Structure 1
Amino acid sequence: MEQQDITINYSFDLANGTKKRFLIRLDPLTSLMKTSSHSKVEWTRLTAHQCSCCRLSADQTAHCPVAVNIADLVTAFKDILSHESCSVSCITTERTTIKETIVQDGLSSIMGIIMATSGCPTLDILRPMARFHLPFASVDESMFRIVSVYLLRQYFIEKDGREPDFQLSRIKQYWKQIERVNEGILNRIRYAAELDADKNAIVILNCLAQILPMEIDEDLNSLRPYFSRPDTIA
């Protein structure tokens, strides 16, 4: 069966009556197809507050792919406070999810999927999760998905004849780099957003990047209770 493009519609209905709509379109390999109309603004240039771990060069691209693709969001929410109440809906082919929440939580959810699919070499490890996007995920849900996807990746690596990492010995290295990218993007949007909604959305994403290595160090004990019943699979 031919794979189809993936569409994700996010809607923000703020308490003051303001409505904001965003369409995310991914190709079958979960790479972002739509780019921002604000892609040429100065803070999106690759060399403007470039991430310390960036693997791209100005010879490859003039603009940071993540910055380019979140620019519309940053512009749309630059004068909105992070704790403003809103109703956020996420519509995919499979389901519609609606949550009464605050702006920073909805923004964190949509920014996460855009950043993971923008073509940043460091964030590309997160791209397979985009096909099965889970909006408004809790910390436990995020941990479960991240580790599960990482281990599935190792299965395919082994099938390809390469050396897998089933012991999670390398995952912390990846997430340290992801943390640096989040910090770099936060530095960029500090110069583009007047209020704190966009900034706090990135802070939320970065908190997850900081929590995961600690969870790995503790042998994922927060998830262990879900597997505490006797194993019935021989």
Structure 2
Amino acid sequence: MSENAYWFDYHIELEDGQITRFHIALDPATLTMLPASPEPYPPWTQLSFKQCKSCPLSPKTNLYCPIAVNITELVDRFKDILSHKNCMVVCETVDRTYSKKTSAMEGLTSVFGIIMATSNCPVMNFLKPMARFHLPFSSVEETTARSTSLFLLGQYFEYKKGRVSGFDFDQLEKSYARVQWVNEGLLSRIRSLGNQDADKNAIITLHSLSQFLSMEMDFSLTTIAHLFEGRTDGG
């Protein structure tokens, strides 16, 4: 692993004392997640198995779904854990440590989110800059502010290079619409793998979040618009 890799260490401790650790490292140049587990991978990770709607990858050139491969260990460990089960989640990063007593579903959602954004899925790659500044347990308001701010920053750099002539959220809205397809595809892959619902509910939470963000693009970011009301020219 590169010494300069961005890393996130998740520690999830259930009420019964069971502790599960997940180490996520990102290549500093590409922001792609470094492989977490070696082959062989289970059959449900093959790209042709319940392939996502409008997936741009081809089974002829990509044997496995890049996200499915990276969540294999996570799904296997938590497939029989109830989503409402309480746990303590700690996320250590290069810069700081986050912790929260919460449900297994919220803890898994946070881990799923960064893995999905950095697995080199073409549909999810637009989220890599946000993953670099990963915020565990972020609220809808926080996620809306981060996603739109980083999108506009990206548009600014594109504008500086002469690739775009103006800024709007049409592209971001379309990107989040495609995220919903990925969420649905992953959910169909893992639906029958466990008896409980923690991993499936984590995907459902991400799906709901992507739906909300798509709606926010249509309604002028009403959730965070009030933060800018009444400001003077000087901020």
Q: Shorter-chain TM-score category?
A: over 0.9
Aligned equivalent of 1:77: 78
Taking structure 1 as reference, are residues 39 and 219 closer, same or farther at Cα in structure 2, changes over 3 Å only?
A: farther
Uncovered stretches (5+) of structure 2, i.e. residues with no partner = none
Aligned equivalent of 1:19: 19
> 4+ residue stretches of structure 1 with deviation over 4 A?
none
Q: Deviations over 1:132-182 (max 9, x none)?
A: 110000000000111111111101111121015512122211111011111
Taking structure 1 as reference, are residues 10 and 39 closer, same or farther at Cα in structure 2, changes over 3 Å only?
A: farther
Tell me, yes or no, if the aligned pair for 2:24 and 2:36 is still in contact at 8 Å. Answer: no
Aligned-partner residue type, residue 90 of structure 1: C
Instruction: Give 1:37 shift.
Output: 4.4
In the comparison of the two structures, how many residue pairs are matched? 233
Aligned-partner residue type, residue 232 of structure 1: D
For 1:11 and 1:33, locate their aligned partners in 2 and report how far apart those are by CA, in whole Å.
19
For 2:102 and 2:124, locate their aligned partners in 1 and report how far apart those are by CA, in whole Å.
26
Aligned equivalent of 2:199: 198
Q: Deviations over 1:22-69 (max 9, x none)?
A: 101111031101233476101100000000120000122100000000
Aligned equivalent of 1:232: 233
Give identity over the alignment, percent: 43
After TM superposition, the structure 1 stretch with the greater mean CA deviation from structure 2, 215-224 or 91-100, is: 215-224
For 2:203 and 2:40, locate their aligned partners in 1 and report how far apart those are by CA, in whole Å.
19
Aligned equivalent of 1:208: 209
Instruction: Give 1:232 shift.
Output: 2.5
Tell me, yes or no, if the aligned pair for 1:39 and 1:71 is still in contact at 8 Å. Answer: no
Taking structure 1 as reference, are residues 164 and 130 closer, same or farther at Cα in structure 2, changes over 3 Å only?
A: farther
The correspondence of residues 1-234 of structure 1 with structure 2, limited to 5 A, is: 4-29=4-29, 30-37=31-38, 40-163=41-164, 166-233=167-234
For 2:193 and 2:135, locate their aligned partners in 1 and report how far apart those are by CA, in whole Å.
28
Taking structure 1 as reference, are residues 39 and 86 closer, same or farther at Cα in structure 2, changes over 3 Å only?
A: farther
3-state SS of the aligned residue for 1:112?
helix
3-state SS of the aligned residue for 2:170?
coil
For 1:165 and 1:39, locate their aligned partners in 2 and report how far apart those are by CA, in whole Å.
47
Tell me, yes or no, if the aligned pair for 2:10 and 2:23 is still in contact at 8 Å. Answer: yes
Tell me, yes or no, if the aligned pair for 1:155 and 1:164 is still in contact at 8 Å. Answer: no
3-state SS of the aligned residue for 1:137?
coil
Provide the aligned C-alpha RMSD in A.
1.6
After TM superposition, the structure 1 stretch with the greater mean CA deviation from structure 2, 53-62 or 132-141, is: 53-62
Instruction: Give 1:189 shift.
Output: 0.9
Instruction: Give 1:3 shift.
Output: 8.4
Taking structure 1 as reference, are residues 95 and 80 closer, same or farther at Cα in structure 2, changes over 3 Å only?
A: same
Aligned-partner residue type, residue 199 of structure 2: D
For 2:166 and 2:86, locate their aligned partners in 1 and report how far apart those are by CA, in whole Å.
42
3-state SS of the aligned residue for 2:84?
coil
After TM superposition, the structure 1 stretch with the greater mean CA deviation from structure 2, 157-166 or 24-33, is: 157-166
For 1:73 and 1:3, locate their aligned partners in 2 and report how far apart those are by CA, in whole Å.
24
Taking structure 1 as reference, are residues 143 and 164 closer, same or farther at Cα in structure 2, changes over 3 Å only?
A: farther
Instruction: Give 1:128 shift.
Output: 0.8
Aligned-partner residue type, residue 43 of structure 1: W
After TM superposition, the structure 1 stretch with the greater mean CA deviation from structure 2, 54-63 or 83-92, is: 54-63
For 1:103 and 1:162, locate their aligned partners in 2 and report how far apart those are by CA, in whole Å.
43
Uncovered stretches (5+) of structure 1, i.e. residues with no partner = none
Instruction: Give 1:192 shift.
Output: 2.2
Taking structure 1 as reference, are residues 150 and 92 closer, same or farther at Cα in structure 2, changes over 3 Å only?
A: same
